[in-house]
Amino acid sequence: MQQFELSREFLEILEEAIDAGNDETIKELVAELHAADIAEIFDELDKDQNNFIFPLLDTEKSADVLIELEEDVRERLLKTLPSEDIADKLEEMDSDDAADVIGELSDETREEVLSHIDDIDQAGDIVDLLNYDEESAGGLMAKELVAVKTNWNILTCIKEIRKQAAEIDEIYKIYVVDEGNILKGILSIKKLLLIPTSDNISKHYNPDIISVRTDTPSEEVVNIMDKYDLVVLPVVDSIGRLMGRITIDDVVDVIREEAEKDYQMVSGITEDVEPFDKVWNHTRARLPWLLIGLFGGIFSAYVIKSHEASLSVFPAMFFFMPLIAAMAGNVGVQSSSIIVQGIANNTIGLESAAMKLWKELSVAFVNGIICSIVIFLYNFIFSDSFALTITVSVSLFSVILFASLFGTFVPLALNKLKIDPALATGPFITTVNDILGLVMYLYLGKFVHFLL
């Protein structure tokens, strides 16, 4: 298969064919493409164009395209399809994908679509999967897998696998279960090919397996698959019965989403937004953070104004306000993001919170001393007010110390309270840090001025 690269020219030819209602040209253009490529095309075209192309694809391909589409494009497309058609597509999908797609439908459409699925096993699997929390192993797993019994021999296994495999796209591992469907171990494809067919598998399967429970949170699933380099992970229920398996491609999606969520938080964007999204989506994603920053700024202005009297006898202090506020924000984000990343990667280590704060204090002490010396030297040379020189460097040092501790403490505390620690890198805490930095600066200025 030639790798497909979507281009403006390709889209133009396709759009022309759609305008001309030229089915054959459209089929020629898209029929041979991978579903992921077709989905990419759909993301670029408008609703009517997609509705024109979609029925021209065969059932299997169109089912695959549905899975690959962006959520909003899929939603629009599904609304135009009769329930019978949706049911046909769902029968072609793996159970986990089918459950994801049907999960996006309204309750009544869902009922209707389910009633049209002829394959009763598939319908049952989908309903089972819909019961699990989306953010858990149950929500990630698919029901399709190959399972054999402990007391079979290899030949029986191969026969049974042939039967089961017809339903499944890919075989990664063969699961070994007992009569009660309790997961006992794993047989690798390699073993299956290497050992004599008359051997009983009880001698050959590997009982050392890593599995998760249906209610294991998805972040933990990610960490386990990543840590142990697993391609597929079996999921069991509370008494150890084999319920399904999670494949790495689904976990890659979770990893990307988690990373993006944290990235968006620290860059001040409140929801998923892509460069090609509409203006309104961008505004909605960015305005909240800007408004928080704005109200923080207004509050800063109010704080500064209320110190106007003392500042007017010491006006040089004004010059360094942006510096102090910016440094408070920067230091806070640094400290928080290291903790957030450590929690996400599970590399937070075994140190207690007290030890982490103590270490953070040491780091802040070193950074604070260096930054304060730099600013002290600058003001000592270029400013004629020794009071200013002292105030700015002592404030900067205090602000760095405080923002570091605050930035470390907040995500640790949020995590303890089972709230997403990434919130600590978000607009609210950063703005609080800015303001507190400014307040410290102003009071220190008053104090130093009073002393000298």
Query: For residues 143-172, which are near its own copies according to CB under 8 A?
Result: 158, 161-162, 165-166, 168-172
- 42, 289, 402, 409: which one binds its own copies (CB under 8 A): 289
Question: Is 109 or 385 the residue whose CB approaches its own copies more closely?
Answer: 385
Question: Is 20 or 377 the residue whose CB approaches its own copies more closely?
Answer: 377
Written as six digits, the tokens of 327 are: 């440094």
Q: Please state the closest distance from residue 347 (CB atom) to its own copies, in A.
A: 5
The DSSP output letter for 45 is S
CB 359 within 8 A of CB 291: no
- d(CA 154, CA 167) in angstroms, rounded, equals 20
313 lines the binding site for its own copies (CB under 8 A): no
Q: Please state the closest distance from residue 84 (CB atom) to its own copies, in A.
A: 27
Question: Is 182 or 209 the residue whose CB approaches its own copies more closely?
Answer: 209
- 142, 154, 324, 424: which one binds its own copies (CB under 8 A): 324
13 lines the binding site for its own copies (CB under 8 A): no
- d(CA 75, CA 69) in angstroms, rounded, equals 9
- 325, 399, 405, 448: which one binds its own copies (CB under 8 A): 325
User: Which range touches its own copies (CB under 8 A), out of 54-62, 105-113, 128-136, 226-234?
Assistant: 226-234
β-bridge mates for residue 177, sequence order: 149, 183
The DSSP output letter for 118 is -
374 lines the binding site for its own copies (CB under 8 A): yes
DSSP code string of 236-287: E-TT-BEEEEEEHHHHHHHHHHHHHHHHHHHHT--S---TTS-HHHHHHHHH
Radius of gyration of the chain (CA): 30
Residues 183-212 that bind its own copies (CB under 8 A): 188-190, 193-194, 208-210
- 21, 108, 349, 451: which one binds its own copies (CB under 8 A): 349
Coil vs helix vs strand at 187: strand
Written as six digits, the tokens of 267 are: 């860059």
- 321, 357, 387, 423: which one binds its own copies (CB under 8 A): 321
Phi, psi of 375 (to 5 degrees): -70, -30
440 lines the binding site for its own copies (CB under 8 A): no
* Of residues 227, 226, 269, the one with CA closest to residue 422: 269
Q: Which residues contact 417 (CB under 8 A, 6 or more apart)?
A: none
Q: Please state the closest distance from residue 119 (CB atom) to its own copies, in A.
A: 19
